[in-house]
Chains A and B, each alone.
Chain A
Amino acid sequence: DAKTTQPPSMDCAEGRAANLPCNHSTISGNEYVYWYRQIHSQGPQYIIHGLKNNETNEMASLIITEDRKSSTLILPHATLRDTAVYYCIVSPLNRDDKIIFGKGTRLHILP
């Protein structure tokens, strides 16, 4: 079973920042936080990952609390194309480790 808890759905206005929370209170010291998303009819897409420091790339920012028990994915300027299911996953950094997907958060970007 997935080791994370996410709200089932969220809305965000186009152009605003979308902040997606994730709880992972049982995360182990060697586990990373990964975020993927799945746009309708497409395969999952990697977004970002981190261990304990905040991370930023061209798609998003990841904020991890100091105790590592929760994190927030931030899409700084949401567009309609960001409408998708967002998955928060904790996983050790093993190259061949499977991804265990939960139900994720269905993010609706509103025009």
Chain B
Amino acid sequence: DAKTTQPNSMESNEEEPVHLPCNHSTISGTDYIHWYRQLPSQGPEYVIHGLTSNVNNRMASLAIAEDRKSSTLILHRATLRDAAVYYCILRDNSGNTPLVFGKGTRLSVIA
């Protein structure tokens, strides 16, 4: 499986934007970039995914580098409820393979 590299932890102030980076230099042409997050004592939750173009949804934005070797999850205004572990995952676009989780980035949000 192609691997991703994320910082272990990040901190943000409430109401400010947060940019969570992910490196995936060995990404293949058929890999989608997925982001999930896990709040304390809960299962992971889907955030967003994309292939080449930047993506926006009600939760976040995903900015994908032109060479696809890195991406950034953007939370436009962090709230205390956004404190979680964020996982960046590559998955083949067949959709028939399991997600392979790394350790993710633990985001702390300060009031």
Q: Do A and B come from one complex?
A: no
